[in-house]
Chains A and B, each alone.
Chain A
Amino acid sequence: MITKGNSIFAVLSFLMICVVLSLTSVAAAADKENCLMCHKYRYMGRIDDKGKKNNYHVDENTFSSSIHRNISCRDCHTYINKIPHDPVTEAVNCANVCHIKPPFAQEKFSHEKIVDVYNKSIHSIKTEDPEIQKRAKPNCKYCHLNPLYFRLSEHVVAYEETLRRCFNCHTERGVSQAYNHITHRLRRKTSRSPQEIVALCAKCHQDVALMKQLNVSPRALDAVESYNRSIHGKLVRLGSQKAADCISCHASNILHDIHKKDNRQATVFRDNIKKTCHQCHENTNSWFVQVAVHPSVKHEDNPVIHLMNIGLRFALYGSVLGLVGLMLFETIGRRRDGIKMAIRNGTTWRGKSKRRSKK
């Protein structure tokens, strides 16, 4: 029999279970080896020999919402084999094989393929590079900061409706994650907004002093500035999600294959650029692709446009000042003619107003 007291007890215990479950579910799966036993402390850190302060705190909530939340610490930090561990000297290698097996695959997951693509790109750190370049080049972590994986607002894919159909057969928790994971590459080229991409690339490429040290070409030196002057740059700065950002043109769908313009594999290589523009511009031909995406009004790049720009400035100020001057001159002359600024009957007409004479 269900009594009143019983049902209240049932509701309360259900709520209690919910609360307990929601508390314990945080980061439960990730930390099998209990690394957080020490690393959960906020001020856990060390001052090294050079006096640099290092903080080794790992925030549970941040980690549990990151893309790597289901991977145990030692899958990446492979050099740790005892607790408490020795001082860390090695960096994480993203090409490591981790213990996650993707669905429908036999081998364990690894970022090896994309690291290979990156290693061939202009941004990879090569042994023959001078020290300054090695330091300046971005590694994986420079661009990929956790948490990267978040749900985007959907326009293209009816996310909720499609997902609800999956729930007919699958449990919600698993299928939501799988669906999100699989489709977020379908929905967008990157999970970052164009504004974030531009800000990320501009962080180094806008630094003219650094770029000069790295001996980049003069065109690449003002790449960010000239991009911001283009319609793509202006629209992205004003919040457009459609307009082209840096990697819309400078990388294919692999995203990491950024090469120099004269590299045959580059998306902006002479023979490939038509295809690259075609991603957004339906009608492209070999003439269209010559239109400057990084426009320059500098004298040495475009002397005719540069001179016209100066000429038009003169025309602008000349005509505006001339016409306003004429207006002022005219007003002075007409005032001498007897016209007044004073308002009578709602106007400054000089003569008698019909309205008044009719009264």
Chain B
Amino acid sequence: MPSEVVSGSIDDSAEEKESQTDYFTYVEGVGHIPRDIYKYVESDPMGDLPRYSVHIVIQHFLIFITFILLSATGLPIYFSDVFWAPYVVSLFGGIESARLIHKLSAFTMMFATAYHIGTIGAGTIKKILNKEFDIRRTQVPRPKDLLDMIHDLKYFLGLEPDRPKMEKFMYKQKLHYLAIIWGSFVLMSAGSALLFPDIMAKLFPEKLGNLLPPAATGEGTYPAFFQELARLMHADEAIMALIVLAFWHLANVHLVPGRFPAQWTFLTGRITREHQIEEHFLEYLNNLREIPAEREYMRNLLKELEVARLRLPPPQEASDV
């Protein structure tokens, strides 16, 4: 069914045509889609189009819960000298149980991470075998993301007429995803070093100490250095993650106009049509190719809008794509 729709030539046409032609994207069987159609579409706040599988939703939920628990139990330990620390610790029934909760949450989060890697790995293999794999629909950063970001910043300054046409994951999300990969690696390795200092020290056997330049007794020894590093990195990375999530991620999905009061994607796994077209236009074209009902909806909407003369008619050059 979806094979009759051709959308592969969008990128080529975008490069060849001038900026005015960029405004319309022709999809066979649907018509000329204006870039700012997202202002006119109907949206269900619970989401119209598929974005995340149920596995991703579960993983997000696990990470969400464990992150809150880890922050709530970890912060009072790091800031043990501030006045609220004992109160927060007492909420968890004392420091020993707070530590236990911290460790259990950490293991749950590591499980969720492993689950995520498994999901992504298996999904990728499945797609490669089915010859459906498209690197543009993944989180892998590409040069286009940098160009998109520049384009977007220009748009926010009023120098570009429309927002860039972005893939399923835009520059912001790829940046965040990379940060999560780095942060998880640091937090897990440093946290393990703090939890198992003896095993950590065993990783640096005495033979290695003989090979390395002699370190003075006391400070400046290798295990001491790595333990110090773990202490520093674990706390610093955790606080960075917490602040970024509290001030950026939550604002992006809850507070900014158009997303308030909540974006329900994290529970439903579906994205609103409006959001998909605005920030993930190229993924929307994929949706049009894959979902006949969506194609039907867009065709009718375009007809309706043309009847109402809300939009300019498509320019002549764009129609011969």
Q: A323-B244, A343-B260 are in contact. Are A329 and B153 (CB under 8 A)?
A: yes
Chain A interface size, under 10 / 10 to 19 / 20 to 34 / 35 or more: 35 or more
> In the complex, which of the residues A239, A308, A320 contacts B95, with contact meaning CB atoms closer than 8 Å?
A239
User: Is A240's beta carbon under 8 Å from chain B?
Assistant: yes
C-alpha gap A238/B74 in the complex (Å): 12
Q: Which residues of A contact B273 (CB under 8 A)?
A: 351
> In the complex, which of the residues A231, A270, A326, A343 contacts B194, with contact meaning CB atoms closer than 8 Å?
A231
Is there contact, CB below 8 Å, between B257 and A340?
yes
Q: A237-B81, A290-B223, A352-B42 are in contact. Are A319 and B240 (CB under 8 A)?
A: yes
Contact segment of A70-78, A122-130, A294-302 = A294-302
CB-CB contacts below 8 Å: B28-85 with A: 38-45, 48, 76-78, 80-81, 85
User: Is A283's beta carbon under 8 Å from chain B?
Assistant: yes
30 contacts between A and B (CB under 8 A): A238-B86, A239-B89, A283-B198, A285-B202, A287-B209, A287-B221, A288-B198, A288-B202, A288-B223, A290-B217, A290-B223, A292-B224, A297-B232, A301-B219, A302-B220, A312-B236, A323-B244, A324-B251, A326-B172, A327-B252, A330-B152, A336-B158, A343-B261, A346-B261, A349-B272, A350-B39, A352-B40, A353-B45, A354-B42, A354-B48
> In the complex, which of the residues B80, B201, B251, B258 contacts A234, with contact meaning CB atoms closer than 8 Å?
B80
Per the CB 8 Å criterion, the residue count for chain B at the interface is 74
Q: Which residues of A contact B45 (CB under 8 A)?
A: 346-347, 349, 353, 355
Instruction: Give B219-231 as 1s and 0s: 1 = Cβ < 8 Å from A's Cβ atoms.
Output: 1111111011101
Which of A240, A336, A347 is the most central at the interface, judged by chain B CB atoms within 10 Å of its CB? A347
User: Is A214's beta carbon under 8 Å from chain B?
Assistant: no
User: Is A17's beta carbon under 8 Å from chain B?
Assistant: no
Q: Which residues of A contact B228 (CB under 8 A)?
A: 292, 295, 297, 302, 305
Q: Which residues of B contact A330 (CB under 8 A)?
A: 152, 156, 256
Q: Which residues of A contact B204 (CB under 8 A)?
A: 287
Q: Which residue of A lies closest to B274 (CB)?
A: A351
Q: Which residues of B contact A339 (CB under 8 A)?
A: 257-258
Is there contact, CB below 8 Å, between A351 and B40?
yes
C-alpha gap A351/B260 in the complex (Å): 14
Q: Which residue of A lies closest to B248 (CB)?
A: A323
- B145 to nearest A CB, angstroms? 14
Q: Which residues of A contact B232 (CB under 8 A)?
A: 297, 305, 308-309, 312
User: Is B199's beta carbon under 8 Å from chain A?
Assistant: yes
Q: Which residue of A lies closest to B263 (CB)?
A: A347
C-alpha gap A242/B152 in the complex (Å): 55
Q: Is the interface of B mostly helix, strand, loop or mixed?
A: helix
Is there contact, CB below 8 Å, between A327 and B156?
no
C-alpha gap A282/B197 in the complex (Å): 11
User: Is A254's beta carbon under 8 Å from chain B?
Assistant: no
Q: Which residue of B lies closest to A332 (CB)?
A: B156
User: Is A103's beta carbon under 8 Å from chain B?
Assistant: no
- Chain B residues with a Cβ under 8 A of chain A: 38-45, 48, 76-78, 80-81, 85-86, 89, 94-96, 98-99, 152-153, 155-158, 163, 172, 179, 194, 197-199, 201-202, 204-206, 209, 217-225, 227-229, 231-233, 236, 239-240, 243-244, 247-248, 251-252, 256-261, 272-274
Q: Which residue of A lies closest to B251 (CB)?
A: A327
Q: Which residues of B contact A240 (CB under 8 A)?
A: 95-96
User: Is A304's beta carbon under 8 Å from chain B?
Assistant: yes
- A102 to nearest B CB, angstroms? 36
> In the complex, which of the residues A285, A308, A352 contacts B198, with contact meaning CB atoms closer than 8 Å?
A285
C-alpha gap A352/B240 in the complex (Å): 38
- Chain A residues with a Cβ under 8 A of chain B: 228, 231, 233-235, 237-242, 270, 281-288, 290-292, 295-297, 301-302, 304-305, 308-309, 312-313, 315-316, 319-320, 323-324, 326-327, 329-341, 343, 346-355, 357
C-alpha gap A309/B45 in the complex (Å): 44
Q: Which residues of A contact B221 (CB under 8 A)?
A: 287, 290
Is there contact, CB below 8 Å, between B89 and A355?
no
Q: Which residue of B lies closest to A324 (CB)?
A: B247
Is there contact, CB below 8 Å, between A291 and B224?
yes
Which of B95, B258, B260 is the most central at the interface, judged by chain A CB atoms within 10 Å of its CB? B258
Q: A281-B197, A291-B223, A312-B232 are in contact. Are A341 and B260 (CB under 8 A)?
A: yes
- A290 to nearest B CB, angstroms? 4
Q: Which residue of A lies closest to B48 (CB)?
A: A354
Q: Which residue of B lies closest to A235 (CB)?
A: B95
Q: A324-B251, A331-B256, A350-B39 are in contact. Are A290 and B224 (CB under 8 A)?
A: yes
Given contacts A238-B77, A334-B258, 18 further A-B contacts (CB under 8 A): A234-B77, A235-B99, A238-B76, A287-B202, A287-B204, A287-B223, A290-B222, A290-B224, A292-B224, A296-B219, A320-B248, A335-B257, A346-B261, A348-B259, A348-B260, A350-B258, A352-B43, A354-B44
Q: Which residue of A lies closest to B85 (CB)?
A: A238
Is there contact, CB below 8 Å, between B197 and A288?
yes
Q: Which residue of A lies closest to B258 (CB)?
A: A339
Q: Which residues of A contact B247 (CB under 8 A)?
A: 320, 323-324
Is there contact, CB below 8 Å, between B197 and A285?
no
Q: Which residues of B contact A288 (CB under 8 A)?
A: 197-198, 201-202, 223
Is there contact, CB below 8 Å, between B77 and A334?
no
Q: A312-B232, A353-B45 are in contact. Are A347 and B219 (CB under 8 A)?
A: no
Is there contact, CB below 8 Å, between A282 and B251?
no
Is there contact, CB below 8 Å, between B260 and A347?
yes
C-alpha gap A300/B25 in the complex (Å): 63
